[in-house]
Chain A
Amino acid sequence: MNDVETTTPGGARTVHAAGVSIKDLRKAYGSNEVLKGINLDVQPGEVVCLIGPSGSGKSTLLRCVNLLEQPNQGTIHVGGFEATDPDVDIDKMRRKVGMVFQQFNLFPHLDVLRNCTVAQTKVLKRSQEESDKIAQANLERVGLGHLAKRFPDQLSGGQQQRVAIARALSMNPELMLFDEPTSALDPETVGDVLAVMRKLAREGMTMLVVTHEMAFAREVADRVVFMDGGVVVEEGVAEQVIGNPQQPRTQEFLRRVLDPTHIEVEED
C-alpha cells in the first residue's frame, strides 16, 4: 500500500496515513478455525468498521494486523511493511500502528502524561521535553489536558480510553486499530470516546474499528464489513450495509442488534 498525505476539510492538520491490504488470511487455534480466508483492503485515510456477532473473528482479524496474533496463512501489508514476512521488523512496524484495546490497558504505575511519553522516549528516542509536549498536545486533543498528572485508577473508564487513544496518537501512527473501544464503558462515557474517534476520522486517520456501535459505524465509517463464522459475509458503504443489508445473515444480525426488545432480553 502506498502512503498518502491527507488533509482535513479545514486543511488544518495533516495526517500521514497508511493503508492495509489483507489477502486470504487464515488463523486457527488448534482445530478451531477462526479466520477462514479473509480479504480486506483499507485505503489510506479510510475508516472501516468491522461488525458481526461475538466469535465471528473480527477481533482476531484486527489483532493479526499488528501481529498480536500470528496468522497461519495469507499476507498482510501495512503501510510499507509486509506484516506476514517472517523477517519483518515487528517493532518498527508497530510504531506506525496505534492500538486501542477494549480494556484500555493503561500502565497503572505511570501517570497519564508518562503513559503517553514512555514509548516516545524509549522507542522513538525523543527527548523527555519533546515527548511531554507531544503528549500534552494529544491529551488536549482528546479533551483531557487537565488530567496529565493523574493516575489511571483515578479516571473514569471513558477518560482512561481517551488517554489510551492519546497514548497511541503520541507515536504519530499512520493507522489506528480499535478493538471494541467502547464495550467496557459505562453508557454515559461512550459518547466522549466516540466523539474523539469521530474527530480523528475527520482528520484523515486510517482507522480499522471493531465495534458494536451501529450508529457510530453508520455515521463515521466509509465502509462497513460484516463478518460471521470467520468469513466476510458482506461489505460496502456504511449506509448500505447497515441500512439495507443484502445477505440474510447480515439482516438477521442487524435485526437482533437494532431491535430494542431483543436488547432487553440480552441484558438479562
Chain B
Amino acid sequence: MAMTARQRAKVSLYVQAGIFVVAIAALLLATDWKTISANVFNFGKIGPMFPGIFTVGLLNTLIYTALGFIVGLSGGLLLALMKLSSFPLYRWIATGYIEFFRGIPALLVFIAFGYGVPLAFGVQWPIFVVVMVSLGMVAAAYIAETLRAGLQAVPKGQLEAARSLGMPQWRAMVTIIIPQAFKIVLPPLTNEIILLTKDSSLIYVLGLTASQYELTKFGRDGISSLGAGLTPLLVAGAFYLVVTIPLSLLARKFESRSARTKR
C-alpha cells in the first residue's frame, strides 16, 4: 500500500522512538547499578577534594589559562601583523611558526619546556613561566590566524580614510583598524579561551607541587586517594564546564550582537 510523504515521516518517527526505548531498556537492565554508583557517582567520598578544588584547582586552571592567553594574544597579534607585512621575510617566518605550532601536539611543547629545556640547558623555570611559554606559544599560532582574518575583514576604505587624514600606517592600525578587528574576532577569540582552558590541563604531565595543582591534577589525585572510582574526574569535569559553558554562551552573544549591527 502506498503511503503519503506525511505518513512515511510519521512511521519513521515511531521507528526511531522505538529503537531508542529498546536501547535504553537494554542498557538499564544490563547495568550493574551498584558498581556504577560506587565508582562514578560516589559523591559521599569526595569531601576531601573540597575546598581545595576551588581555592587551588579552579584558581590555578584560571591563572594558567589567563597567562597562556596573555602571551598567546600578544604573540598572536605580532604574528598576524607579520603575516600581513609587506616584507616577505616576516610573512615566511610567521607562516612557518603558525604551521609548526598548529601541526604538533601541544603536549609535546609542554614536555619540551617542562623537561627538555631544564635538562638541555640546566635552567629550571618556575611552573607558571613554563605554562606561560608553552600554552602561550601554541595559543599564539591559533590566535594569529584568527586575528589575521579579523584584520582583513575590516573594509579597505577604513585604512584609506585613516591614511588620508595623515595617519602613518602604524597609527592607522592602532587607532582605527585593530579596534575594529578586535570586535570582529571577539567570538572566535572567546572560543580560543575555551580551548586554552582545556589545554591548561596538559600541565598535569609535569611534576607539580600541591599548591600548583589544577583541576585535572586534582581529579587524577582523587582517583588514587579517595577510592571513589571515577567520581573525582566527574567533579573536575564539572568544574571545567562551569568555566567553558558560560564562555560559550558569551561567544554566542557576541556573535548575535555583531550579526545585528551588520547591515
Contact = CB atoms under 8 A, between A and B. Distances in A.
Interface of A: 66, 68, 91-92, 94-95, 97-99, 101, 103, 105-109, 118-119, 122-124, 153, 164, 167-168, 171
Nearest to B261: A153
A97 B176 contact: no
Nearest to A118: B175
Q: Give the interface size bracket for B toward A.
A: 20 to 34
Nearest to B159: A105
Contact of B180 (A95, A109, A153): A109
B157 A105 contact: yes
Contact of A68 (B160, B168, B261): B160
A123 B171 contact: yes
A83 B94 CA distance: 34
Given A94-B164, A109-B180, A109-B183, A122 B263 contact: no
17 contacts: A68-B160, A68-B164, A91-B166, A91-B167, A94-B163, A94-B164, A97-B164, A99-B161, A99-B164, A105-B155, A105-B158, A107-B158, A118-B165, A118-B175, A153-B261, A168-B164, A171-B165
A101 B157 contact: yes
Given A101-B161, A105-B160, A153-B263, A123 B167 contact: yes
Interface string B141-179: 000000000000001011011111111100100011001
Interface of B: 155, 157-158, 160-168, 171, 175-176, 179-180, 183, 261, 263
B166 A105 contact: no
Given A109-B180, A109-B183, A119 B166 contact: yes
Contacts of A105: 155, 157-158, 160-161
A98, A106, A122: which has the most chain B beta carbons within 10 Å? A122
Nearest to A107: B176
B155, B175, B263: which has the most chain A beta carbons within 10 Å? B175
Contacts of B263: 153
A211 to B, nearest CB: 18
Given A103-B157, A153-B261, A68 B163 contact: yes
A92 B166 contact: yes
Given A108-B180, A122-B171, A153-B261, A101 B166 contact: no
A123 B162 CA distance: 10
A224 to B, nearest CB: 24
B162 to A, nearest CB: 8
B167 A122 contact: yes
Given A101-B157, A153-B261, A153-B263, A109 B179 contact: yes
A210 to B, nearest CB: 15
A68 B166 CA distance: 12
A103 B164 CA distance: 14
B158 to A, nearest CB: 6
Contact of A107 (B161, B166, B171): B161
Contacts of B261: 153
A168 B162 CA distance: 10
B178 to A, nearest CB: 10
A75 to B, nearest CB: 21
Given A107-B158, A164-B161, 16 more contacts: A91-B168, A94-B163, A105-B160, A106-B161, A107-B176, A107-B180, A109-B179, A109-B180, A109-B183, A118-B165, A118-B176, A119-B165, A119-B167, A122-B171, A171-B165, A171-B166
